[in-house]
Amino acid sequence: DSGVTQTPKHLITATGQRVTLRCSPRSGDLSVYWYQQSLDQGLQFLIQYYNGEERAKGNILERFSAQQFPDLHSELNLSSLELGDSALYFCASSVGQDYTFGSGTRLTVV
Amino acid sequence: DAKTTQPNSMESNEEEPVHLPCNHSTISGTDYIHWYRQLPSQGPEYVIHGLTSNVNNRMASLAIAEDRKSSTLILHRATLRDAAVYYCILRLLDSNYQLIWGAGTKLIIKP
């Protein structure tokens, strides 16, 4: 257990639907990052939050949004889902240069 | 664009050292070099990081070229449990410490 918890582990949904992925960071970590990993590829940075505020944005589609709540957990909302959104979605938290990743949510859009 | 280049795959025998190369010719002076590995169906796991000097920890060593345009991750005695995809990553100071990931090297360990 890395200390970063992601739920659900697996999600299957239809095109056009909306889903919410949840991440609880490691205790004490203020930063949360979201990444997308398509099949056999490296991770693509989506967005970062620090203590409730958006800090940096990567290649995040307008159909996707995220937030970090006062208890520091974060949610990634994916809407109007397309087949190409099928991927592993990872959350990471960090303090300093120490990044810890969760085990991911596998999203399958059918 | 900051970017890293790694071989797609490498093979090594168990109990032998492994040298995983990475090129990052566009690195800037404030970018840290990080290495993570990812086992099948798991999230990435931190291996090591450095800025200019060579670094050692219990998992591996990191050798950084003098011009910082390349680095090598060294696993001193590979075991079957080291079979994974190894990612060489730049941590960009100028972009709020974002991690910029390459495609990674799939390390295959032969018994």
Q: B43 and A99 in contact by Cβ < 8 A?
A: no
Q: What is the pLDDT of residue B64?
A: 96
Q: What is the pLDDT of residue B2?
A: 60
CA of B53: how far to CAs of A85, B64, B87, in Å? 40, 6, 19
Choose the closest CB to B96 out of A4, A56, A97: A56
* pLDDT tens-digit map of A9-49: 999 999 999 999 999 999 989 999 999 999 877 889 999 99
Instruction: Return contacts of B27-30, CB within 8 angstroms, 24+ apart.
Output: B27/B2, B27/B68, B27/B69, B27/B90, B28/B2, B28/B92, B28/B93, B28/B94, B29/B68, B30/B93, B30/B94
pLDDT band at A76 (very low <50, low <70, confident <90, very high): very high
Rounded CA-CA distance B28/A110 in Å is: 42
Question: Best of A36, A37, A43 to disrupt the B interface by mutation (most B CBs within 10 Å)?
Answer: A43
Say what percent of chain A tops pLDDT 70. Answer: 100
Mean pLDDT split into 10-residue runs, chain B, 111 residues:
87 96 91 93 92 92 96 96 95 76 92 92
Look at residue A11 in the predicted model and tell me its pLDDT.
97
Residue A108 has pLDDT above 70, yes or no: yes
The CA R_g of chain B, rounded to the nearest whole Å, is 13
